[in-house]
């Protein structure tokens, strides 16, 4: 891949040091319930990185050369009513799987049903909305795993911890009793869900951009976020242990662009060193099995360079407007094009977004190989 070797080497060194220095944060322990009898899953090779999309022939070739698999996401958009009812239509789900993956698919895949499911799951066991959301997710996972058993399935973002604890305290500042209560609640919610997946995909993207923060703000957020990210991974492990589930691969979702929450520029590509320090190093230290890179940039690129029909959709128009504003500086050398749909603009954006993906994947692979305890390459 074509990325600056010196920058990658320096960033990976930082990542390796951080991984070695930071012990994993352990969630509070509790007496485990008697585990159910569970059949161990078949052994499977787990790649250190999987990727949701590429945007150019060059980035596609770079990903192939690195032997990084692609994975498929089945988005909730295939079932618009689910967001209103909290029910998953299995016929619509099946049609979308076959549309995107064919009738006899294999490989890695993810269901992404977020609203209102994530919010309802936060209510906790015993709340009718939580029980419905969990039941629907389990129903969908059992359906796709039974119908397409050659695919390794997961659900996006589970298990999930709020960025702030319910009382508004940062994770690194909270008393043990407050953290213990939240972790116990999440273990109870997510145990039955993790029993139904083939791999586990917690998500904790980088929402604060170093360039927009003071040194004091950066230090404060890094301390909080490191504990928050590490607790996600420890929660996944603890949930499986307490539910009597044989360990499953944990591949957390990481993003190569700022998602626009927190204090960050929407869809700005994350600098490589910032990616490694903030998202990769803490999770390597916690002992993940790999990373699932998500950007959704193939879809967003289509919005940015698409036609005016999308103007009728307020959310699509908002995404297009915000991304164009960012990418003028990130990818178009500060020059706003007269025609965003021209072939020249499409080519430049596809090449440069593709380069962001290729560079990010290469950096993560290098950090993976340099992690403490990694098997050294054969001489």
pLDDT for position 19: 42
Task: Decide if 373 contacts 21 (C-beta within 8 A).
Answer: no
CA 215 vs CA 92, 117, 261, 272, 312: distances in Å: 49, 37, 20, 19, 42
Dist CA 193 CA 236 (whole Å): 11
State residue 357's pLDDT score: 98
Does the pLDDT value for residue 11 go beyond 50?
Answer: no
pLDDT, mean over the chain: 88
Give the confidence band of 308 by pLDDT, cuts at 50, 70, 90. Answer: low
pLDDT of 37: 37
Alpha-carbon torsion (68, 72, 76, 77), positive or negative: positive
- State the pLDDT at residue 128: 97
DSSP state letters, 309-321: GGGGSHHHHHHHH
Q: Strand, helix or coil at 196?
A: coil
Q: Give the pLDDT confidence of 19-29 residue by residue, as tens digits.
A: 444 433 444 44
- Span 354-363, average pLDDT: 98
Where does the pLDDT of residue 310 fall: very low under 50, low under 70, confident under 90, or very high at 90 and above? low
**Closest Cα to residue 4, out of 366, 251, 369, 292?**
366
If you average pLDDT over residues 1-26, what whole number do you get? 42
Structure tokens belonging to residue 163: 């960025």
Task: Assess whether pLDDT exceeds 90 at residue 338.
Answer: yes
Does the pLDDT of residue 2 top 50, yes or no? no
Chain centre distance of CA 162: 15
pLDDT surpassing 80 at residue 42: no
Give the residue carrying structure tokens 């170093």. 210
182-200 average pLDDT score:
96
Count other C-beta atoms under 10 Å from residue 215's C-beta.
8
Determine the pLDDT at residue 306: 85
CA dist 357 and 296 (Å) reads 11
* The predicted structure's pLDDT at residue 373: 77
Length of the chain: 379
Who contacts 194 (Cβ-Cβ below 8 Å, separation ≥6)? 158, 159, 200, 236, 239, 240, 243, 245, 248
Give residue 350's pLDDT.
Answer: 97
**Cβ neighbours of 104 (radius 10 Å):** 9
Cis peptide before 116 (omega within 30 of 0): yes
**Which tokens belong to 142?**
């059992």
Give pLDDT, residue 376.
61
Within 10 angstroms of residue 273's Cβ, the number of other Cβ atoms is 17
- Whether the predicted pLDDT of 8 surpasses 70: no
Q: Count Cβ atoms below 10 Å from residue 57 Cβ, excluding itself.
A: 11
| pLDDT in the model for residue 138 | 98
The pTM of this model reads 0.87
Domains of the chain: 5-30+45-370 (3.20.20)
**Per-residue pLDDT tens digits for 47-72:** 999 999 999 999 999 999 999 999 99
Residue 218 CA to residue 174 CA, distance in Å, equals: 19
Decide if pLDDT at 313 tops 70.
yes
Write the CB contacts of 265 (distance below 8 Å, at least 6 apart in sequence): 209, 212, 258, 326
Average pLDDT estimate for 122-136: 96
Centroid of chain to Cα 139 = 22
Reference 352, options 259, 268, 277, 276; nearest CA is 268
The mean pLDDT value for 303-320 works out to 79
Mean predicted confidence (pLDDT) in 125-139: 97
Instruction: Please report the pLDDT score of residue 41 as a whole number.
Output: 41
Q: Is 222 helix (H, G, I), strand (E, B) or coil?
A: helix
CA distances from 290 to 50, 110, 199, 250 (A): 8, 15, 10, 7
Residue 374 pLDDT exceeds 90: no
| 115-119, 178-182, 303-307: least confidently modelled range | 303-307
Per cent of the chain over pLDDT 90 is 78
Q: CB of 158 within 8 A of CB of 106?
A: no
Cβ contacts of 145 within 8 Å, gap of 6 or more: 151, 153, 196, 198
Q: What is the pLDDT of residues 236-260, one digit of tens each?
A: 999 999 999 999 999 999 999 999 7
Please report which confidence band the pLDDT of residue 166 belongs to, taking 50, 70 and 90 as the band edges.
confident
Average pLDDT over residues 101-110: 96
Residue 203 CB neighbour total at 10 angstroms: 16
């Amino acid at each position: 891949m074509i990325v600056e070797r010196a920058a990658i080497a320096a960033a990976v060194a930082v990542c390796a040091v951080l991984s070695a220095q930071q012990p994993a944060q352990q969630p509070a322990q509790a007496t485990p319930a008697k585990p159910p009898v569970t059949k161990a899953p078949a052994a499977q090779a787990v790649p250190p990185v999987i990727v949701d999309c590429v945007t150019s022939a060059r980035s596609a070739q770079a990903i192939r050369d690195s032997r990084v698999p692609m994975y498929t996401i089945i988005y909730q958009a295939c079932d618009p009513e689910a967001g209103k009812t909290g029910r998953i239509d299995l016929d619509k789900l099946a049609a979308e799987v076959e549309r995107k993956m064919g009738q006899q698919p294999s490989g890695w895949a993810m269901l992404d049903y977020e609203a209102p499911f994530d919010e309802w799951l936060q209510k906790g066991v015993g709340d009718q909305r939580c029980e419905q959301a969990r039941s629907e997710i389990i129903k969908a996972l059992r359906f796709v795993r039974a119908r397409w058993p050659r695919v390794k399935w997961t659900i996006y973002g589970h298990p999930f911890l709020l960025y702030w604890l319910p009382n508004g305290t940062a994770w690194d500042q909270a008393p043990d009793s407050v953290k213990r209560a939240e972790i116990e609640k999440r273990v109870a919610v997510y145990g039955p869900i993790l029993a139904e997946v083939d791999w586990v995909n917690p998500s904790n993207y980088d929402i604060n951009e170093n360039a927009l923060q003071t040194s004091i703000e950066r230090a404060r957020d890094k301390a909080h976020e490191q504990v928050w990210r590490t607790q996600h991974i420890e929660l996944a492990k603890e949930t499986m242990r307490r539910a009597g589930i044989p360990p499953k691969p944990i591949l957390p979702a990481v993003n190569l662009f700022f998602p626009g929450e927190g204090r960050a520029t929407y869809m700005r590509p994350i600098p490589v060193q910032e990616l490694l320090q903030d998202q990769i190093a803490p999770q390597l230290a916690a002992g993940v099995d790999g990373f699932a890179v998500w950007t959704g940039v193939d879809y967003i690129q289509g919005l940015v360079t698409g036609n005016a029909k999308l103007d009728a959709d307020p959310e699509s128009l908002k995404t297009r407007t915000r991304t164009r504003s960012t990418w003028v500086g990130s990818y178009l050398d500060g020059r706003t094009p007269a025609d965003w749909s021209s072939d020249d603009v499409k080519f430049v954006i596809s090449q440069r977004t593709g380069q962001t993906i290729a560079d990010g994947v290469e950096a993560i692979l290098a950090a993976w190989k340099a992690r403490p305890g990694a098997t050294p390459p054969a001489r």
